[in-house]
Amino acid sequence: MSSTKRLEGKVAVITGGNSGIGLATAKRLQEEGARVAISGRNKKTLDEAVKTISNGVLAVQADMSRLSEVGKLYSEVSKRFGKIDVLFVNAGIAKFAPLAETPESLFDEQFDTNIKGAYFTVQKAIPFLNDGASIILNTSVADRKGTTGASAYAATKAALRSLARTAAAELVGRGIRVNSVAPGPIVTPIFGRTGLPKEAVDEFAKDIVAKVPMKRFGQPEEVAGVVAFLASQDASYITGEEINVDGGLGQI
């Protein structure tokens, strides 16, 4: 646990902050002194997240693939907290199928949330950001590593990686840094939402762990720590970068 308050007085917004990596990050940024706002699509998990994080967290029910709801999130944050210092673009979904069997609906659903939603989450944030703010996008080790069954998902994450670089180039004049965190396999509820039966998910998990040099899944808190670093002044000379949190999967 961090005892430092690197984000004292800062305002942090986390999309998909109601579970998994987003929830762990919301907790961590608050521990570091930030005032935190989270968004999520599911009212029940959002309410549970508020109880877990407590301390005046603002929760906004919003589907980040709908542009009007992205706007709603920022107007509520600005009313409560004013300008934003940290934006963690984390809302995303993962659905797997072989390339030959990927239906248009599965492709569209992932592109709508993972890239279109993320793109406009960044775009619509720009007027609400303080100069010197930090934007962090949640990509994936799959954005550069060919992963069987993940063609549409991996393509959304590669597009996101590209967006981070362009946004970094365009916003650098305002001192706004844009970086990515690329998780490998992390213990989160996303695995239960892949649309695969439990046996297939277990088999998939076993197969993944065998490939990870550290031979284990990561914890959401391990990603949250890297997001907190990128959000803070400790990363003041880092922009356009992607940090893998993947047990070595993308590197070794």
pLDDT surpasses 90 at 197: no
pLDDT surpasses 80 at 194: no
pLDDT of residue 202: 85
* Catalytic residue (choose from 74, 119, 153, 237): 153
pLDDT surpasses 60 at 1: no
pLDDT of residue 200: 82
What is the average pLDDT across 36-53?
96
What is the average pLDDT across 89-113?
96
70-87 residue pLDDT tens: 999 999 999 999 999 999
93-103 residue pLDDT tens: 999 999 999 99
Confidence at 54, pLDDT banded by 50, 70, 90 = confident
Confidence at 199, pLDDT banded by 50, 70, 90 = confident
pLDDT surpasses 90 at 203: no
What is the average pLDDT across 49-72?
96
What is the average pLDDT across 226-251?
97
pLDDT surpasses 80 at 2: no
DSSP conformation letters of 51-107 = HHH-TT-EEEE--TTSHHHHHHHHHHHHHHH-SEEEEEE---------GGG--HHHH
- Helix 220-231 / helix 20-31 crossing angle, nearest 10 deg: 50
- Sheet containing strand 129-138, strands side by side: 58-61, 35-40, 11-15, 84-89, 129-138, 177-183, 242-245
- With a pLDDT cut of 90, the percent of the chain lying above it is 88
Q: What is the mean pLDDT of the chain?
A: 95
pLDDT of residue 4: 79
What is the average pLDDT across 22-49?
97
Tell me if residue 153 is catalytic.
yes
Domains along the sequence of the chain with CATH = 11-245 (3.40.50.720)
**What is the number of H-type helices and E-type strands within the chain?**
8, 7
pLDDT of residue 3: 60
pLDDT surpasses 80 at 19: yes
pLDDT surpasses 60 at 7: yes
